[in-house]
Structures are given as C-alpha cells and as structure tokens.
Amino acid sequence: MFLANFPTEDLIGPILLALNILGIAVFAATGALAAARKGQTIVTFIFFALVTGVGGGTIRDLLIGAPVFWIIDQTMLISIFAMVAIIWITPAKWWRGKMMDWLDAIGLVAYSVYGTAKSLQYGVPPIPAAMMGVITACAGGIIRDVLAGVPSIVLRPEVYVTAAALSTGMFVIFLSFNMLTPVAAVVAALFGFFVRAAAIRYGLALPSYRGGKDAEAI
C-alpha cells in the first residue's frame, strides 16, 4: 500500500519545522498587510495576523486529532507578533504592489508541505494528508479575505490552490520513493512556489466553467 511502510514518526525535522515557522510568519504578515490596507488599528493588525497565521493549522490539528499547535507552543505567537511589529513600523511603500501576493506564495507552499508532513505523522493516509496540507495552506488566507471584505483568492481562476496541491502531491510522491524527507520537502515547496510565482508574474489561470458565461443559468 502507498507509503504503508514509511517511518512517518520521524518526518518532522529541522527543515519542516523551519517551513512551519516560515509559513506562519509570512501568512501573519499578509494578515497584517490586509489590516494596513484598511487603515486599521494595531489591535486589528494583531487579530488579522493571528487568524491568518494560525487559521489553517488550527483546522488541520482539530481534524487530525492533534493538540492545537499555537496553544502548546508560544514560539508561533511570538513570530506572529514580530511580523505585526515589522509591518507596523516599516514604511508603507515597502509593502505596495504585489508584495502581499509574494509573501502569500511563500506561506502557501511552506505551510502546505508542513501540513502534509504533520498529517502523515499523525497516521493520516497519504492522499487525505495531502488534502490536509492544502487546507493548512489555504484556510488562513480565506479567513483573512473574508475579514477584509475582499474576494477570496480561491474564488478566482488564478492558479493558487493548484500550487499548494502540487507541492503536497509531490511531497508524498517523493516520500513514496524513499527520498530524504528534508530534500522532498524543499523540492516540493520550491516547485509549488515556482508555479505560483508564474501565476503572479504572468497571470496564469485555470479555465472557468464554460468560460463563466453560462454559470448564472444553473
């Protein structure tokens, strides 16, 4: 059976822990930037950063039966507060343009690979584990967009969820061929990032249902 004999208890090492912290930190930054674009207070900055940074991971942990990570490890909260402070005190011009999209792309792939690895470690089969990785990566951003009152990225045809799914899928495939976990994690994350980067740079998008023209008739 696929990955049945893989020693999943040793999946989470320094590289994956680094990807986890990176994903949380940059997602928190996108949450803070969403608050900044609305001209909000520091309290709202913190709230947006918190729910964006931990939202996907919290859903994952609840679904796989793991202790909710940020409740038992305050390091994650410290990284979120640090990102809020950076966004708050630095010039707004640093964060204009597509900076939020690029930060989101980094968080997307880093968090998706880590979410997959943690799910595998908790005994989730490979395919559901890959889906857990996608949820880990995308849920926080969805919450952020809802709070900010902007159209969610997952409702646009632009390649986004696909990049996360490619990272998680490649990660479990690499593990099935007994690739070293750190190598599998980094290669899978980089591949997903390049796909998302191409989407940001060139506007790559998936085809909509019948070009979107007949959808209202359903």
pLDDT, tens digit (0-9, with 9 covering 90-100), for 139-191: 999 999 999 998 887 777 788 999 999 999 999 999 999 899 999 999 999 99
Residue type, 187: V
- Report whether pLDDT(215) > 60: no
More confident of the two residues 12 and 190: 190
- pTM equals 0.91
At residue 99, the pLDDT reads 87
Point out which residues pair with 205 in neighbouring strands: 158
Q: Which residue matches tokens 């986004």? A: 160
- Which of 1-15, 16-30, 91-105: highest mean pLDDT? 16-30
At residue 1, the pLDDT reads 47
Tell me the mean pLDDT in the region 86-106.
Answer: 90
- Report whether pLDDT(34) > 80: yes
More confident of the two residues 57 and 216: 57
CA distance 66 to 43: 29
Contacts of residue 107, Cβ cutoff 8 Å, sequence gap at least 6: 22, 23, 24, 25, 26, 27, 30, 137, 140, 141
Residue type, 10: D
More confident of the two residues 152 and 31: 31
Can you list the alpha helix ranges (DSSP code H) found in the chain? Answer: 14-37, 42-64, 69-72, 74-89, 99-121, 126-148, 161-176, 181-202
Across all residues in the chain, what is the average pLDDT? 89
The contacts found for 120-126 with CB under 8 angstroms, 24 or more apart, are 120/3, 120/6, 120/8, 120/11, 120/172, 120/175, 121/8, 121/9, 121/11, 121/12, 122/64, 122/65, 122/66, 123/8, 124/64, 125/2, 125/3, 126/2, 126/3, 126/172, 126/175, 126/176
Q: Is 26 helix (H, G, I), strand (E, B) or coil?
A: helix
At residue 213, the pLDDT reads 58
Q: How confident is the model at residue 216 (pLDDT cuts 50, 70, 90)?
A: low
44 within 8 A of 147, measured Cβ to Cβ: no
Residues of the chain with pLDDT > 90: what percent?
71
Lowest mean pLDDT among 9-18, 27-36, 143-152: 9-18
